[in-house]
Amino acid sequence: MARKESYRSKHNSKTGEGAYPEKQERVPRIPIDPALQLPYAEGKVLLIDKPLHWTSFDIVRKLRNILQIKKIGHAGTLDPLATGLLIVCTGKFTKKINEFMAQEKEYTGHIVLGAVTPTFDLESEPEHQTKFDHLTSDEIIHATKQFTGAIQQLPPIYSAIKKDGVALYELARRGTAVQLEPRNVTIHSFEITGVDLPAVSFKVVCSTGTYIRSLANDFGAALGCGGYLGSLRRTRIGQLQVADAIDMKTILNLVGHQSAGDNNGAGLPLD
């Protein structure tokens, strides 16, 4: 939870938006109606529209608590600063997690040019400001070509990838030097959807294992001015769309619970 608290304080000071709800006093758990619980215990695939600042594990933990089931997991982590489609499987459908994780992903968001951050996103402060106003839209669009197809990508040092059993972000916080190894990923398409410097909006379709934070950092380096990820939303996994996802408040209502501070959205569970 410490990481989430840092997002809350930073983003409250920068934007005043997307604040994670204040901690609530712990109350006794409300027993779930067995008739409501049974379908989830047997197995469902839920499409969740993950809110800003929540970790993917926060979603799983919350659902495990309100559904009061043990067999539950998600199919592909979203960073706390990202929103969008998170597939959560329960019961027998947890066997499908690896299948979902292997499918291609689609993301939208924007890259901020003219600076870099150690985490490649807004978890850390921008630094090394560089001029960017000489760039044209044509130059920005042309730079995407070197990042399409099969490429090698270095993951961010601040990531959940483990080395000798320890997450890279933990090693980075300790100041431990780590030799990163490039990973083979595929960028099926990298489309620039808008240019309003320093912000560049994009849509990316990519293979599993791709770090959009790394793509933002590498893209800024290719343009000679640096860049970092300003926002990210996962809109699709395989054929599953975020437009069909539910928000946390909706699922709480579905099982007869209420929770202050959950974000709103739309959609229904996918069986």
Enter the DSSP assignment of 103: S
Distance CA 144, CA 190 (A): 6
* Both structure tokens of 93: 């459908």
The residue from 49, 79, 218, 262 that is catalytic is: 79
List Cα–Cα distances, 153 to 44, 182, 192, 211, 259, in angstroms: 34, 5, 20, 8, 40
Q: Determine the length of the chain.
A: 271
Q: Which amino acid is at 152?
A: Q
Which residue is listed with tokens 């933002």? 216
Roughly how many angstroms between the first and final C-alpha of the chain, as a whole number? 31
For residues 105 and 237, the answer to whether their CB atoms sit within 8 Å is: yes
Tokens 């901690």 label which residue? 23
In 3-state terms, what secondary structure has residue 204?
strand
Give SS3 for 142: helix
- Residue 251 has a CB neighbour count (10 Å cut-off) of 25
Cα separation, 249 vs 81, in Å, equals 19
Q: Is 133 a catalytic residue?
A: no
Cα–Cα distance measured from residue 225 to residue 255, given in angstroms and rounded to the nearest whole number: 50
DSSP 34-61: HHHHHHHHH--EEEEEEPTT--HHHHHH
Query: Active-site residues: which are they?
Result: 79
